[in-house]
Structure 1
């Protein structure tokens, strides 16, 4: 359906009304960000070991000398042939941000349960540069509620996004983002986690599409997304000028 066509004056009036709501949303986002920063922290006492291209590393090692660590829980299970298309979509936006994050004392690392060789192969296929390590054999993914064993999925409920949910609605791997802080003593604290559509604002393409005339133009959440090497070439619309 084509939207209503109006005069420029009517459009300005409608746009100003929307601008008021956009400003409200911006202020609400600022308020939510402040509350996020004020959340209490949990000290991480458990020893987690990850497989990395440089060898075994602890959670504290993943900070790479910085005080803040963001971990993206990338859906790539031990027996998966390729990474989740949605996780891949988000990860396409990371490499350009890395210099800015690192300069701002933040390290970004993706973590999956797939073995390191499988991670390396998929990372090479996608052409990514960000650090990506394996938690295979570790409790890390299970403790942060993004991986589920067959025993978990056989239960009445599984815990995801801070809510019990039906196992039928869960996969053995689900996405999320977790934040950690390391102090001068070397102590590590879990400060924040977000799941499901929570990290959506990290996907710049969606934010751009929200400003396009057709928006996301989707039938369900991100149903249009493919891995970036799987899109069919779309013919361009014929030019009106010759």
Structure 2
């Protein structure tokens, strides 16, 4: 490994400030891109889809858990998924390596829930195997359902993992965004999940269409076990 130039603190800080200009420009571009996502057209989901959960059958509407938005990640965990000798296991002990990596990065769902958004994983494994994997890997906080029909084919995730975003207006459901391949490697962080939704982070600084829900930043943030209690204010 070749070492980079070794410089005194003043030169190091100058280099950091130079790079910071580009980093801030990239952040602003990402904010602008998220604003365009919030203005994407919606696609009506008129077909009925059914899933199996721990308590039985559910519809796509049920997966929202009463919230306005739903993010669905299609994980590859099923009897016909290729084994992974490099990690020393196969089904049902192992899910797809990459999908497992994503699951390990998922933040506490209470933060998404506080923005009226639900996250769910789906795959074609039976519920008994899903529960065993969740217990072993510590993924109990991720709602995980079994696909029973053409949901994965219809939403572009039958051959590759991917994340679909939906919104509902009453009982009407709309698809608002989709990301797959390397785009999925950013998922897991609460902010990145919110940035792919139709409503975004729902904070006042965002460039969103007229009438979208927005509140001041910081003020809605809370400990994951305190949502619904007294909000945390600046300085707490």
Deviations 1:164-199 (A, max 9, x none): xxxxxxxxxx21111001112x10000001001112
Structure 2 residues not aligned, in runs of 5+: 82-90, 193-236
- Following superposition of structure 1 onto structure 2, how do residues 31-50 of structure 1 map, counting pairs within 5 Å? 31-50=32-51
CA shift, 1:144, in A, is 1.3
Distance, in Å, in 2 between the alignment partners of 1:84 and 1:144 is 19
Indicate the residue corresponding to 2:6 in structure 1.
Answer: 5
Which residue of the other structure, out of 118, 121, 124, is the alignment partner of 2:129?
118
- 1:98 paired with 2:85, answer no
- 1:202 paired with 2:187, answer yes
Q: How many equivalent residue pairs?
A: 177
Indicate the residue corresponding to 1:84 in structure 2.
Answer: 96
Structure 1 residues not aligned, in runs of 5+: 149-173, 208-242
CA shift, 1:13, in A, is 1.6
CA shift, 1:203, in A, is 4.6
CA shift, 1:48, in A, is 0.4
CA shift, 1:97, in A, is 2.4
Which residue of the other structure, out of 151, 173, 177, is the alignment partner of 1:192?
177
Distance, in Å, in 2 between the alignment partners of 1:200 and 1:127 is 20
- Following superposition of structure 1 onto structure 2, how do residues 1-80 of structure 1 map, counting pairs within 5 Å? 1-80=2-81
RMSD: 1.6
Distance, in Å, in 1 between the alignment partners of 2:188 and 2:167 is 23
Distance, in Å, in 2 between the alignment partners of 1:145 and 1:77 is 17
CA shift, 1:70, in A, is 0.5
Distance, in Å, in 2 between the alignment partners of 1:60 and 1:147 is 20
TM-score (norm 1): 0.69
Q: Alignment partner of 1:122: what SS?
A: helix
Distance, in Å, in 2 between the alignment partners of 1:127 and 1:194 is 25
Indicate the residue corresponding to 1:132 in structure 2.
Answer: 144
TM-score (norm 2): 0.71
